Structure 1
Amino acid sequence: MSWVSKTLNSTLGRKVLMALTGLFLILFLVVHLAGNLQLLIPDGGEAFNKYAATMANNPFIKVVSIGNFAFILIHVIYSIILSRHNKKSRPVGYSITKASSNSTWASRNMGILGTFLLIFILVHLKGFYYEVKFGSIPMTTYEGVEFKDVFAIVSAAYSNVLYVAFYVLSMGFLAFHLSHGFASAFQTLGLNHVKYSPLIRKVGLVFSILIPALFALIPLVMFFQN
């Protein structure tokens, strides 16, 4: 067995891979949010549709998208492996008496949070990514150039109160997931220090509240505007 296989099959190696993929997905959230905020520009969807066209046709973005899907899959698989390993190796008594006093609710329930978020991702991909790629999308024209009217698809989805409620609830789960995962990733990679760790935790807390809140704001605003 090569050193790569040994590393990836060790508990530490799995945690490092979880941390790296987690940090990549955190960066993706920022980029994805920047694009989605264009939905709130009062131009009838022109800025967002042009952004969507750029994302769909740029070769670099296509490669990054494939990598993003791969990292999500790796993150999910290794989270399941680590959760099962931790459950087997942790005595029940210790779990009840110690874990609750020395860890946060989010850290003890990352499996539940992650499972719910996976369901959200699958629903989200089916409703938007799949429809844009393979569905029947209306077209619109700007300055004589045709674009897929992705804004119309998003607007229709966000007019559904059940979907909006599901989206906002999912962002709440994402906030809890990030509140533990952000600082935990830096700690796993050995980037913790007495001087800097408190700052990392504070930045992580702000990030875990701000990013999901802004994501949740978009469907709420569009719902009340419809």
Structure 2
Amino acid sequence: MKKELISTLSRKYLMALTGLFLCFFLVIHLLGNFQLFLPPDQARESFNGYSKLLSGNIFIKAISYILYASIIIHSLDALLITLFNRKKAGKYEYDKRGAASKWYSRNMGILGTIILVFLIFHFKDFWYQYKFGALPVDAAGNKDLYEIVIRAYADLWYVLFYVLAMFALGYHLLHGFYSAARTVGLYHPKYVNLVRVFGTWYSYIITFGFAAIPLYIYFTHY
């Protein structure tokens, strides 16, 4: 029993660390994507130049491998923890404490699955295309990832799927950010409310920031 508890705590700690790293990455990714709000010609030049800079930088490449590993570890860890919790819940069916928690806290597995499915599409349509696809080039000779992004958001179903995934991400973050901070002990009891407020606003900004991008492109370009 003690060994099982230690194993569970280790998995939660690993999930917290990978989750916080992914939270940091989301901020950087959002800031880069904000270039899509620029006027079209300026956005194309800026976004494609930014993409080339990221793909050609050794430090960024190293970070990208950490990112891929974090996504995989976070997903697998979440699956193991979910299976463990369900097994535990089956032993203690009389425990109704979960009913008092937020619905998104009780459905992190479902939210995480939606996000994972979205990531598969997202990597296929953008990362894979940039790395291995036959992309057009812009006036500066850079791979025209901007054109690929604009074309992708011409389809309303894709835009709606993107927005749905971002709201799933937002609810995932509402629980995950505070839970991760608590797991790794990043707050003092005096600052619990501050951490909670920061986490809430962070979740809102990430959610609406990313969701606004495909909506903006769809309604201004088509």
2:129 is the alignment partner of 1:134 = no
Alignment equivalent of 2:21, drawn from 16, 20, 24 = 24
Query: Does the CA-based 8 Å contact 1:128-1:154 persist in structure 2?
Result: yes
The separation in 2 between residues aligned to 1:77 and 1:49, in whole angstroms, is 33
Cα distance in structure 2, aligned partners of 1:193 and 1:57: 41
- 1:39: how far off? 1.0
Gaps of 5+ in 1: 1-5
Q: Distance in 2 between matches of 1:7 and 1:28?
A: 32
Q: 1:74 aligns to what?
A: 73
SS of the residue corresponding to residue 176 of structure 1 reads helix
Q: Any conservation in 2 of the 1:7–1:13 contact (CA below 8 Å)?
A: no
Question: CA offsets, 1:46-65, max 9 Å, x none?
Answer: 10010011011111111111
Residue type at the aligned position of 1:81: L
**Structure 1 pair 9–61 and aligned structure 2 pair: CA distance change class (3 A):** farther
SS of equivalent to 2:188:
coil
What is the CA–CA distance in structure 1 between the aligned matches of 2:7 and 2:185, rounded to whole Å? Answer: 17
Instruction: Please give the residue correspondences for 1:126-165 in structure 2 after superposition, counting only pairs within 5 Å.
Output: 126-142=124-140, 146-165=141-160
| Superposed counterparts of 1:45-56, under 5 Å | 45-56=44-55
Query: Matched residues in 2 for 1:8 and 1:59: separation?
Result: 40
Which residue is 1:3 aligned to?
none
TM-score when scaled to structure 2?
0.93
Q: What amino acid does structure 1 have at the position aligned with 2:25?
A: F
- Give matches, 1:1-226, under 5 Å: 10-44=7-41, 45-91=44-90, 93-94=93-94, 97-101=96-100, 103-142=101-140, 146-226=141-221
| Higher mean displacement: 39-48 or 6-15 | 6-15
Runs of 4+ residues deviating >4 angstroms: 6-9
Q: CA deviation at 1:19?
A: 0.2
Q: Quick one: which amino acid aligns to residue 205 of structure 2?
A: L
Shift of 1:153: 0.3
The 8 Å contact of residues 183 and 204 in structure 1, kept in 2 or not, is answered as yes
Contact persistence 1:132–1:150 (CA under 8 A): yes
- TM-score scaled to structure 1, two decimals? 0.91
Q: Name the SS for the 1:147 alignment partner.
A: coil
Separation (CA, whole Å) in 2 of partners of 1:139 and 1:122: 25
Supply the RMSD in Å over aligned alpha carbons.
Answer: 1.6
Matched residues in 2 for 1:8 and 1:129: separation?
A: 38
Structure 2: runs of 5+ lacking an equivalent? none
8 Å contact kept, 1:8–1:14 = no
Counterpart of 2:134, as a letter, is S
Q: In the comparison of the two structures, how many residue pairs are matched?
A: 216
- Give percent identity, aligned residues only: 47
Deviations 1:102-121 (A, max 9, x none): x1111100000001100000
In 1, the alpha carbon distance for the partners of 2:195 and 2:156 equals 36
